[in-house]
Amino acid sequence: MKFARCRVFLLLLCALACALPAESPSAASPPANLTISNQSSYDLLNIRFRQGRSMYFVRLDMAPGARDDIENPGVTADLRVDTGLAFWFFKAVPLNQARRLTFCGEHAACLILEQVNKISRHLSGTVQSLLPEELSRPVCTLDQFRPGMAMSDVCSLLDPDPPRDDNDAVLTSLGFAGMVWAARLAPGQPSPDDHRLNGHDRLGHLELRRQLTAATLDSLLRTLYAQGYVPWQAELPGLDMNFTEMTDLDTAKQKDILRQTLHYFLQSGRGEATVMLAPAAMLPALADADAPQRDVQLFTLTLRQSSRTLVVDVAAYQGGEGGR
């Protein structure tokens, strides 16, 4: 009788064990991939993950509406999201429980954390603008910098210990065209025949950012025209223009064509456009050569309608080398 009761008890234990779900080793592990979804109205350039003293960056370059998968850090970390014009900070985000991060469009620094258990959490972060207050003065002006200068000279002009991005570019604010811009001063490679400096010791190029408005664009173009720059090339949705081929039109007419084209582009509210400007005195030689014969500094304007951002890239090219 005792044996029968023991046998029944063992059978009940086996049945109970089979009824309970077995936890696989992978169930406790964080997802290998983390989906990043940009449903905000801002560009997402990169994310910095920080846990204690450890940190690393992930480059995104995501326009509004874009989505991508990255390797999941699998830890609880503080996030710094770089939008180009501001930092968004989120504290103690449990990435080990996350399968998707959605940056939402309700307001700035808005994050929806979708967990592996399909429960979503709405997190609000803090915002640090990369532009100073409206009436404040910038630290420096653009004409104090030139691509190719030593990074030590760059940093000596700026505030001590400025923030940097995932490419080790120094982030600051610069004055140009009567406006204050969020600026990135990125290190680059020296020319092959210059061994005085190495690697990241030289300033590679400068990037300026502001919100895209017609007034900002007009002021920028007026300043560049006053400095002797003229349109060289422009790319818009469904339209490419090379102003060196407009031989029957004088410079004033070419500028007017560009002005009207950009006006219609801004009115459309969609797409992306780029405009390259070069010194008028050097444009004929630039158009006919594979590489500039003399040192030249070019401006490339990028107009992004999706995030309403104007990006100005300032790059120097060395004569005879064809490189920055």
271 and 199 assigned to the same domain: yes
What's the chain's average pLDDT? 83
CATH number at residue 97: 2.60.40
Residue 16: its pLDDT value, please? 44
Residue 216: which of 287, 266, 162, 160 has the closest Cα? 266
pLDDT digits (tens, 9 = 90+) for 201-258: 777 778 999 999 999 999 999 999 999 999 999 999 999 999 999 989 999 999 999 9
The total number of residues shown for the chain amounts to 324
169 and 283 assigned to the same domain: yes
96 and 154 assigned to the same domain: no
Question: Which of 29-38, 92-101, 284-293 holds the top average pLDDT?
Answer: 92-101
Q: Is the dihedral of CA 235, 238, 244, 250 positive or negative?
A: negative
Residue 119: its pLDDT value, please? 92
Is 27 contained in some domain? no
312 and 220 assigned to the same domain: yes
How far from 131 is each of 162, 210, 238, 240, 284, CA to CA, in Å?
13, 9, 33, 33, 37
Higher-confidence residue of 5 and 215: namely 215
Q: Which amino acid is at 145?
A: F
Question: H or E stretch including 221?
Answer: helix 214-226
Give the domain-ending residue among 129, 156, 172.
129
Residue 188: its pLDDT value, please? 72
| Whole-prediction pTM | 0.81
Is 4 contained in some domain? no
Give pairs for 183-192: CB < 8 Å, separation 24+. 183/142, 183/207, 183/208, 183/209, 184/209, 185/145, 185/151, 185/154, 187/151, 188/147, 188/324, 189/324, 190/148, 191/318, 191/321, 191/323
What is the residue-wise DSSP string for 51-86?
Answer: ETTEEEEEEEEE-TT-EEEEE---SEEEEEEE-SSE
Is 151 contained in some domain? yes
Residue 169 confidence (pLDDT) above 80: yes
255 and 285 assigned to the same domain: yes
Residue 320 confidence (pLDDT) above 80: no
Is 238 contained in some domain? yes
Could you list the residue range(s) of the whole structural domain that residue 76 is in?
A: 32-129
Rounded-to-integer distance, Cα 227 and Cα 245, Å: 22
Give the domain-ending residue among 129, 157, 191.
129
Give the domain-ending residue among 91, 109, 129.
129
153 and 298 assigned to the same domain: yes
Distance of CA 271 to the CA centre of its chain: 17
β-pair partners for 272: 304
71 and 218 assigned to the same domain: no
Rounded-to-integer distance, Cα 44 and Cα 146, Å: 27
Is 69 contained in some domain? yes
Residue 22 confidence (pLDDT) above 50: no
Query: For residue 247, what is the DSSP state?
Result: T
Higher-confidence residue of 203 and 263: namely 263
Q: What is the mean pLDDT of residues 179-184?
A: 90
Residue 290: which of 321, 244, 314, 316 has the closest Cα? 321
Q: What is the mean pLDDT of residues 64-70?
A: 96
Residue 137: its pLDDT value, please? 61
Residue 315 confidence (pLDDT) above 60: yes
The total domain count for the chain is 2
How far from 126 is each of 90, 109, 111, 129, CA to CA, in Å?
7, 6, 11, 10
Residue 321 confidence (pLDDT) above 70: no
